[in-house]
Amino acid sequence: MKNYICIILFAISCAFSACISAQSIQQKNNEILLLKSRIEGLEIDSILQFGMIKHKDSIINHQDSIVKHYQDSLVDSKRQIMERDKLLQNNTSKKEITALKNKNATLEKEITALKDKNATLEKEIATLEKEIIALKKKLEPTISSIKSERISYKGCFFDVCIVDTKEKQITFFWKDEKNQRFQSFEKLNQYKRLLFATNAGIFTPEYTPQGLFVENGKEKNPIDLKLGNGNFYLQFGKEDKSNGIFIISKNNEVQIIKTKEYEKYKNNTQFATQSGPLLLYNGQINSTFTDGSTNKTIRSGVGYINSHKVVFAISNVPVNFFDFANMFKEKYQCSEALYLDGAISKMYLPGLNRTDYGGNFSGIIGITE
């Protein structure tokens, strides 16, 4: 009985345990189901989150692709712009090069034309040189007796002609056979071929010589002994009221005298012109002149080395009286010299390639063939 009771108790214990186990199992199952549901929820959330992440990544990738596209487009645009600029520059350069080539071609044509013209001119020059040589040979004996030179004195330049009256005749001209003034070297050269010429002294507004003018032994205009103003009447000194006269005698000797002395030379005078002031007399410079004077102009004058050597000079730049007189004295050792005229002065001197045509003179001093 006792064993039976034990068996019953064991059975009841087992049944209770089984019941408890069944409840535990059911509880566990419920827990498992709950966990499953939670896991499923978590999986769904994970899936959704993953999808969102994937979508976000897709959007980011799409944005990146758009940015890259615009970046690439920008780079392409910049490259195209640079290529277009380069093309434009090349086109401009090509146009400039074409223009330069055309200009160069034109210049080459001009150069060719100039070369042809130069060749023609060289032929003409060669012909002229032959003619000049022939003329020089023809004139050599004549030119040798007329010395031409350009000198410098105290910063001034002078053209000078030295004539030997033993070899060449100096002649004075005023009017022709029709009583018409020769007026200029050009007209005189048409009358007689000139070797040298210069103006013969100061003249009046009526183109009459100012004072004495003797031509071929004949007095064409009387001596002027009056006092007055201007260079013609400028005294040699405070006590000496004389100007001067350039004389060529009948035996072809030259002298420059004071006007008041003329009477004793009158009968032997072939040519004469009165002018003033005297620049030099007896080796002395006119005392009315001032060293360093600012009264400067173009000046012409005549002096003589000896009774047959005459010096004609004209300044090429403005010069004062003192320096002009001193030039005759120091450069040519003249003891007498006479001023002929100022700014209107001209000279015909082929030996220096100087042919001062023009002018409108009264008397002219010249040497002809």
pLDDT in tens, 35-74: 555 545 444 444 444 455 455 555 556 556 655 665 666 6
Question: How large is the average pLDDT for residues 335-341?
Answer: 97
What CA–CA distance (Å, rounded) separates 185 from 191?
10
Residue 261 has pLDDT above 80, yes or no: yes
Q: Which of 188, 249, 245 is CA-nearest to residue 217?
A: 249
Residue 357 has pLDDT above 60, yes or no: yes
pTM over 0.85: no
Tokens of 81: 């712009």
pLDDT in tens, 222-244: 999 998 899 999 988 777 788 99
pLDDT of residue 42: 43
Question: What HEC string does the chain produce?
Answer: CHHHHHHHHHHHHHHHHHHHHHHHHHHHHHHHHHHHHHHHHHHHHHHHHHHHHHHHHHHHHHHHHHHHHHHHHHHHHHHHHHHHHHHHHHHHHHHHHHHHHHHHHHHHHHHHHHHHHHHHHHHHHHHHHHHHHHHHHHHHHHHCCEEEEEEEECCEEEEEEEEECCCCCCEEECECCCCCECCCHHHHHHHCCEEEEEECCCECCCCCECCCEEECCEEEECCCCCCCCCHHHCCCCCCCCCCEEEEEECCCCEEEEEHHHHHHCHHHEEEEEEECCEEEECCEECCCCCCCCCCCECCEEEEEEECCEEEEEEECCCECHHHHHHHHHHHHCCCEEEEEECCCCCEEEHHHCEECCCCCCCCEEEEEC
pLDDT of residue 105: 80
* Residues, the chain: 369
Average pLDDT of the chain?
82
pLDDT of residue 16: 43
pLDDT of residue 45: 46
Q: Which of 250, 228, 349 is CA-nearest to residue 300?
A: 349
Number of Cβ within a 10 Å radius of residue 316: 14
Query: Which comes out higher in pLDDT, residue 366 or 38?
Result: 366
What CA–CA distance (Å, rounded) separates 123 from 118?
9
Question: Which segment, 68-72, 88-92, 358-362, is predicted with the most confidence on average?
Answer: 358-362
Q: For the chain, what is the radius of gyration of the CA atoms? A: 62
Annotated domain spans of the chain: 66-139, 145-368
Q: Which of 255, 218, 223 is CA-nearest to residue 242?
A: 223
One-letter amino acid of 362:
S
What CA–CA distance (Å, rounded) separates 338 from 286?
10
Contact, 221 vs 208, CB < 8 A?
yes
Number of Cβ within a 10 Å radius of residue 288: 15
Where does residue 277 rank: exposed (0-12), middle (13-18), buried (19+ CB within 10 A)? buried
pLDDT of residue 199: 96
Question: How large is the average pLDDT for residues 29-40?
Answer: 55
Instruction: Please give the angle made by the CA atoms of 118, 122 and 124, to the nearest 5 degrees.
Output: 115
